[in-house]
Amino acid sequence: MGCDDNGFQAFMSALYNLIDGPVTSFRENFVCPNQQKYPWYHRQFKRVPTIDQCFTDDVLCDFEANSQYKRDRAVDSEILSILRQRFEDCMMFEAPDINVCKPLYEKYKDSEEAWFIKYGDLGAYGDARKAFMKQKHRLAWEKKFGPLSAKK
């Protein structure tokens, strides 16, 4: 704490320290040490076998593959949402000059296409087995008729 020029600055500094002191102390003494001790603070699940690596009668493997599929879908959906939000923010801030936002738009559209290839048309009850069958049917179609992508 330094030398204050006037009484008002001294009062404001004391008021700041009165409010900030306990908050900073709580964070330094309780929050930060506990973040390092608890492994679930930023939980990372280990990868499990995919549905094509499971036997047909292995219910536990099927459940784990579906759980992994749901986590992957949630992460991919959130990534797509963030890309969409970045593009919308760019359009909002760079309104007259839309050429600035073109790379963001292209990245968003590519990601949207990839998301739809993997998860689209599966509905609310889509699971790992349905997604795997969709992928298998797509690969068979592309082998027979060529790629489905709009870009050629």
pLDDT tens, N- to C-terminus, the chain (152 residues): 556 578 898 899 899 999 999 999 999 898 887 776 656 556 677 888 889 999 989 999 999 999 999 999 999 999 999 999 999 999 998 877 889 999 999 999 999 999 999 998 888 888 999 999 999 999 999 999 988 765 54
Find the distance separating the first CA and the last CA of the chain, reported in whole Å.
66
Q: Is the pTM of this model over 0.95?
A: no
pLDDT at residue 37, rounded to an integer: 61
Check residue 123 and give its pLDDT.
Answer: 85
